[in-house]
């Protein structure tokens, strides 16, 4: 199991993080897609655990969760998929799950099974740090980084509090709202990242609304990582051969690595 810290070890290196919903459009596609993402420039892959009420997600990921649930993709399925993927790729795998499926399985059991499956991190968008102590303990015991989220509206004192509790990296939501494709990056995002960096020693990775190589390049100028999900899932839907998704990831990687200008 590769730890998240290892991704950010090289000075100046910017991480490309991809999100995929496990089981969308089917499990076989997930098992094909993730190794391709790793081979073509992704440094971390988030595996979305399908949930019936994904309140932080926009239409694209909501639909992906619905399709996966219709095919009976459960947390157990996701653990099995992660185990298979961890045997064929070296990039860290991170579960993105709402709290209810974790609670239903049991915190200890979920974290034990995640560790066995080779999962390096966990993102729980509906879990505030104030209520996260029990999960933090289990994650720590099983070598899993619990990644917390902050948004542009997070006050300074709250940023420092969340930063002190997070592990691996801090997930910075680029805007107030849900995930989804956007035409432009919020103009205040750079200031938000700078404000957070002053109180947070962790790598800062930006997600929500990043949907083009230009967006990725803009964000990589001031953040440590770029997270892309909805646009990638759209391309998987458009082209089940996955050629469009792979080309998109290559373009993201090239844009992130290109000199500013």
Domain membership flag for residue 203: no
Report which secondary-structure segment, H or E, holds 20.
Answer: strand 15-21
Total tally of structural domains belonging to the chain: 1
219 domain residue, yes or no: yes
Tens-level pLDDT at each residue, the chain (261 residues): 678 988 987 767 899 999 999 999 999 999 999 999 999 999 999 999 999 887 767 788 999 999 999 999 999 999 999 999 999 999 999 999 999 999 999 999 999 999 999 999 999 999 999 999 999 999 999 999 999 999 988 998 999 999 999 999 999 998 644 444 444 565 688 999 999 999 999 999 999 888 899 989 999 999 999 999 999 999 999 999 999 999 999 999 999 998 765
Whether 64 maps to a domain, the answer reads yes
Contacts of residue 200, defined as CB under 8 A and 6 or more positions apart, other chains included, come to: 159, 160, 163, 166, 170
| Positions marked catalytic | 46, 57
- Is residue 198 classed as helix, strand or coil in its secondary structure? coil
Please report the beta strands in the chain, taking only residues with DSSP state E, as ranges in sequence order. 15-21, 44-48, 93-96, 119-123, 145-147, 149-150, 170-173, 204-207, 225-228
Q: Does residue 192 sit within a domain? A: no
* 239 within some domain: yes
Handedness of CA 68, 210, 2, 149 (dihedral sign): negative
Structure tokens at 58: 């926009």
Q: Is residue 180 in some structural domain? A: no
> Does residue 132 belong to any structural domain of this protein?
yes
Q: Which two tokens stand for residue 99?
A: 């709290």
* Domain CATH code at residue 92: 3.20.20.70
Domain containing 216: what range? 4-147+210-257
């Amino acid at each position: 199991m590769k730890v998240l810290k290892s991704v950010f070890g090289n000075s100046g290196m910017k991480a490309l993080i991809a999100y995929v919903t496990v089981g969308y459009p089917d499990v076989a596609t997930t098992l094909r897609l993730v190794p391709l993402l790793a081979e073509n420039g992704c440094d971390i892959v988030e595996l979305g655990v399908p949930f019936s009420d994904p309140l932080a997600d926009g239409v694209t990921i909501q639909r992906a969760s619905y399709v996966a649930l219709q095919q009976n993709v459960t947390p157990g399925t996701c653990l099995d998929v992660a185990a298979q993927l961890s045997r064929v790729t070296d990039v860290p795998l991170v579960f993105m799950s709402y709290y209810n499926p974790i609670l239903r399985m049991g915190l200890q059991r979920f974290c034990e099974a995640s560790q066995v499956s080779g999962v390096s991190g966990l993102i729980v968008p509906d879990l505030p740090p104030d209520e996260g102590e029990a999960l933090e303990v289990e994650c720590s015991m099983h070598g899993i980084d619990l990644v917390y989220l902050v948004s542009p509206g997070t006050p300074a004192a709250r940023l420092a509090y969340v930063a002190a509790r997070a592990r691996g990296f801090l997930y910075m939501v680029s805007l107030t709202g849900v995930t989804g494709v956007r035409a432009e990056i919020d103009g205040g995002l750079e200031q938000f990242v700078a404000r957070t960096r002053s109180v947070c020693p962790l790598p800062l990775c930006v997600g929500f609304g990043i949907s083009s190589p230009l967006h990725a390049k803009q964000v990589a100028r001031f953040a440590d990582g770029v997270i892309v999900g909805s646009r990638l899932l759209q391309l998987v839907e458009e082209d089940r051969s996955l050629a469009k998704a792979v080309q998109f990831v290559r373009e993201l990687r090239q844009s992130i690595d290109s000199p500013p200008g």
